[in-house]
A = this chain, B = another copy of it.
């Protein structure tokens, strides 16, 4: 098993990424982790961090896609960037997965343009763990597709269910559509149509619509939504949590016994952060391509990188892509609406890519 790791992405630079690769190489003996990036940087870090005897080959890539770049344009303009080289390793079968903590848009563009969609998949979707009061659920799409059709949401439901079952180990995961009301019939046109399709989709445990409050309470295992709404949902929750933590600290340290308050607040917030910390969940996965793409948070430290590699490894071991492929093919053969009919034009896949190429 070979996993291509983009060494050049992420807020903390190659040192942290390589530290994660070393942790993973020690923990998962049967995995080859190909370090893709500037050889001199990688060699220096490997020497500094004592990686002797580990299975960490270097694959040279001279360029880097930076955080601010336009994804599709950058992927085209930088064929020797670490992301594009890593994607190419997956496309030509050298690697089975590609892991990065770099620019999410760049990772999507590299994955879609270089690796390509799985047969029968209309739109690849970005799936991510999301913290609830009870644990974690998964949400997809959180940003690969700003505009989708009901049959896309149907495929997201199928992919999300298989992911929750085989990667997170949830038996018969419940699936719900994010909406502005729980009742059937609530939602925009997209949600109302998707609701009808999901009711008729075999092999998933569809439970109806869900509102944010119930997601936070842990009511559902899989949340299905378009990439625009999903992205705003996830970012709104993150931003609110951050603001509220800040305001809590301000208020706890404003009282008459502020030093005690500050002490308790710091300790409590550390525990809160640990409870909602998704670094052990390995980041988001772009599902629906011919190879796995794992997009770790830009802020990932070594531990998060190790878990992102673990998710890729588990996906390969569980053969999640073949399971998705099988389910999609089966449903196509049964004549359910699952695959619909759509132009396979690569550039229709994400509106971000479309807009750039227009």
Chain A residues at the B interface, C-beta cutoff of 8 Å: 133, 143, 146-147, 178-180, 185-189, 191-192, 211-213, 215-217, 226-229, 231-233, 235-248, 251-252, 254-255, 257, 260-261, 264-265, 267-269, 271-272, 275-276, 351-352, 355-356
Q: Which residues of B contact A179 (CB under 8 A)?
A: 228, 232
Q: Which residues of B contact A247 (CB under 8 A)?
A: 133, 272, 275-276
Residue in B closest to A271 when the chains form the complex, CB atoms: B251
- Give which listed residue, B187, B235, B265, contacts A146 with CB less than 8 A: B187
In the assembled complex, the CB of A242 is this many whole angstroms from the nearest CB of chain B, namely: 8
Are the CB atoms of B245 and A244 closer together than 8 Å? yes
A-side binding surface: helix, strand, loop or mixed?
helix
Report the separation of the CA atoms of residues A212 and B271 in the bound assembly, to the nearest whole angstrom: 25
Q: Which residues of B contact A233 (CB under 8 A)?
A: 232, 236
Are the CB atoms of B239 and A216 closer together than 8 Å? yes
In the assembled complex, the CB of A106 is this many whole angstroms from the nearest CB of chain B, namely: 14
Q: Which residues of B contact A146 (CB under 8 A)?
A: 180, 187-189
A271-B243 CB under 8 A given contacts A212-B232, A212-B235? no
A189-B261 CB under 8 A given contacts A133-B247, A216-B239? no
In the assembled complex, the CB of A150 is this many whole angstroms from the nearest CB of chain B, namely: 13
Are the CB atoms of B245 and A255 closer together than 8 Å? no
Q: Which residues of B contact A216 (CB under 8 A)?
A: 239-240, 242-243
Residue in B closest to A270 when the chains form the complex, CB atoms: B251
Q: Which 10 residue pairs of A and B lie closest in terms of their CB atoms, listed nearest first?
A: A251-B268, A240-B240, A180-B231, A212-B236, A146-B188, A213-B239, A188-B228, A236-B236, A212-B239, A216-B243
Are the CB atoms of A228 and B229 closer together than 8 Å? yes
Q: Which residues of B contact A235 (CB under 8 A)?
A: 180, 211-213
Report the separation of the CA atoms of residues A5 and B189 in the bound assembly, to the nearest whole angstrom: 34
Report the separation of the CA atoms of residues A187 and B241 in the bound assembly, to the nearest whole angstrom: 23
Are the CB atoms of A243 and B147 closer together than 8 Å? no
Q: Which residues of B contact A228 (CB under 8 A)?
A: 179-180, 187-188, 191, 229
Q: Which residues of B contact A215 (CB under 8 A)?
A: 239
A261-B268 CB under 8 A given contacts A233-B236, A236-B212, A239-B212? yes
Are the CB atoms of A180 and B244 closer together than 8 Å? no
- Give which listed residue, B211, B244, B272, B356, contacts A251 with CB less than 8 A: B272
Are the CB atoms of A232 and B178 closer together than 8 Å? yes
A180-B251 CB under 8 A given contacts A211-B235, A216-B240? no
Residue in B closest to A186 when the chains form the complex, CB atoms: B352
Are the CB atoms of B351 and A189 closer together than 8 Å? yes
Q: Which residues of B contact A257 (CB under 8 A)?
A: 260, 264
